[in-house]
Amino acid sequence: MSHPHPELGPPPPLPEGGLRIVALGGLGEIGRNMAVFEHEGRLLIVDCGVLFPEVDQPGVDLILPDFEYIRDRLDQVEAVVLTHAHEDHIGAVPYLLRERRDIPLVGAKLTLGLIEAKLTEHRIQPITVEVVEGERRRFGPFELEFFAVNHSIPDALAVAVRTHAGIVLHTGDFKMDQLPMDGRLTDLGGFARLGAEGVDLLMSDSTNAEVPGFVTSERDIAPVIDDVIRVADKRIIVACFASHIHRVQQVVDSAQKHGRKIALIGRSMVRNMGVARELGYLKVPAGILVDSREIEEWPPEDVVLICTGSQGEPMAALSRMANRDHPIRIAEGDTVLLASSLVPGNETAVNKVINGLTRWGAKVVHKGNALVHVSGHAAAGELLYVLNATKPSNFMPVHGEWRHLRAHARLARLTGVPEENVVIAEDGVVVDLVDGQAKVVGAVPAGYVFVDGTSVGDITEVALKDRRILGDEGFISIVVVVDSTTGRLTGGPEITARGSGIDPDSLDAVIPQIEKALQESAAAGVADVLQIRRVVRRTVGRWVSDTYRRRPMIIPVVVEA
């Protein structure tokens, strides 16, 4: 089995006729999916998504792939293929198009509709190429064939990339729901036909590779949602992903059945459902939809609110309702339905929201106590079907954390893919397909790029570490005035503490130690401001650690007189 190594260096030049694949995100993580294909001096990108920040990344709004690998070759990019419209696959497109606006975006109708709505907010008018399943398109040396796949959003596609180096099948995110809401099945027959032709490399979604069997059908959710709406005697609030059109459709259908009005809450929810409705993917009966600003005028038993915030996002509508920081006030007897699965890492945030809602008297229905969501990703049984249908010569698991990638690799070996032809890579690892053999040949930088407000890439890991320290331990600032020639103390020290939990009066105890340390450093001929700062920081830091066993940020300010 080929796999990355921490000592991997830069890759050699791509051999003539070979195909190079570099994932800039999506390997070893859930999100930030982006794969770059290189062949005959041209590039093709499949997906360009974002990762959402963890609790230890304070102030960060989004995490992007690092475009540095392709930045000086953007003119060589033929197109960006978008397999579907989830944020972890399209969210970074606006930031890529800022660097070259005329890169064609290739995708299905709904995918392009949602990305165009997003790009409008960024004031970018994209070049789009709409495709449908079964269609073939050529972009430079890449011939693409598209296949229908079933996922938790309509119009998802898999893409086969044909080059002189061979055929690569990239599944995108998929599952094999046999009774999908829209009747659109994953094209296993098409995969088998491609397998008979010869798949040289299969890149397949690994998110649920550890889950045995088959994913529950979306249709099994409808009766549960209907029961929740039927028995509720007051207001109902449903939280789900802003892109989950199938789930919203189920809620709309049930609300109509039980005579309730619908209101959409949250900018992304309103935007996405507006696009879905306009393009015919969401069917909303006339008269059922009401403006969210009018919702308080309706009796509680007559309304259903559909909002964002199912993952506990702090600024999403549901979290703000739980914190009483939203115009819609949770009341005793309200029913809140969390119609989504938990993204790994969000458990604490979601539990906090559930507790907040319960505090105000709401009944909260979630995946832990009812079948209110099914995954959009194929479980192990479905992944085996695809492996057996495509019979790939080489296999590379994608879209998942390390445990998912390794579990998927085991499935591939069980179906007969040779050990040496199973490639487990991580972000930035370079995989070449040459003469029918896929193997790791090097690595390129593929770190995190943080978006913080309007700032892109300015926040570093060092800055985040400082933010974590400030958040956990607070800070102590010390102002001293020194003689610019001798380095002797002429004023201060003045000490201020914030968020450190240290009694301000007790800080007086460290002043003599600072004065002594500066006296000794001046006697040793130290007059450099940087060195004086180090003396002050070390002195105060040692005192705080010895006295309080804490490690606040120490900020010395040295003024020369």
DSSP character string of 180-244: -TT-----HHHHHHHHHH--SEEEEE-TBTTS-S-PPPGGGHHHHHHHHHHH--S-EEEE--TT-
- Check whether 268 is labelled as a binding-site residue: no
User: Residue 246, annotated ligand binder?
Assistant: no
CA distance 197 to 213: 28
Question: Binding site annotation covers 376?
Answer: yes
The candidate with the shortest Cα–Cα distance to 380, out of 229, 210, 535, is: 210
Q: Which of 155, 177, 205, 334 is catalytic?
A: 205
Report the relative pairing of strands 201-205 and 166-170 from DSSP bridges.
parallel
Side by side, the strands of the sheet bearing 142-148 are 136-139, 142-148, 157-163, 166-170, 201-205, 394-398
Find out whether 243 is annotated in a ligand binding site: yes
Tell me if residue 377 is catalytic.
yes
CA distances from 127 to 78, 105, 124 (A): 12, 6, 10
Q: In degrees rounded to 5, what are phi and psi of residue 255?
A: -60, -40
Catalytic residue among 170, 246, 366, 377: 377
Residue 61 marked ligand-binding: yes
86 assigned ligand-binding residue: yes
DSSP sequence for 375-415:
-SS-BHHHHHHHHHHH--SEEEEESB-HHHHHHHHHHHHHT
- 458 annotated as ligand-binding: no
Helices 380-390 and 402-414: crossing angle in degrees, nearest 10, is 50
Instruction: Confirm whether residue 39 is marked as ligand binding.
Output: no
Element spanning 506, H or E:
none
Instruction: Check whether 258 is labelled as a binding-site residue.
Output: no
- Can you give the three-state secondary structure of 294-340, one letter per residue? HHHHCCHHHEEEEECCCCCCCCCHHHHHHCCCCCCCCCCCCEEEECC
Contact 203, 35 (CB under 8 A): yes
Residue 164 labelled as part of a binding site:
no
Structural contact between residues 176 and 143, judged by C-beta atoms closer than 8 angstroms: no
477 is in an annotated binding site: no
Query: Which 8-state DSSP code applies to residue 64?
Result: E
Would residue 177 show up in a list of annotated catalytic residues for this protein?
A: no
The answer to whether 89 is a known ligand-binding residue is yes
Binding residues for Zn(2+), by number, are: 84, 86, 88-89, 151, 173, 399
Residue ranges of the binding site: 59, 61, 84, 86, 88-89, 151, 173, 242-244, 373-377, 399, 452
Binding-site annotation: residue ranges for Ca(2+) = 59, 61, 452
Residues designated as active site: 205, 377
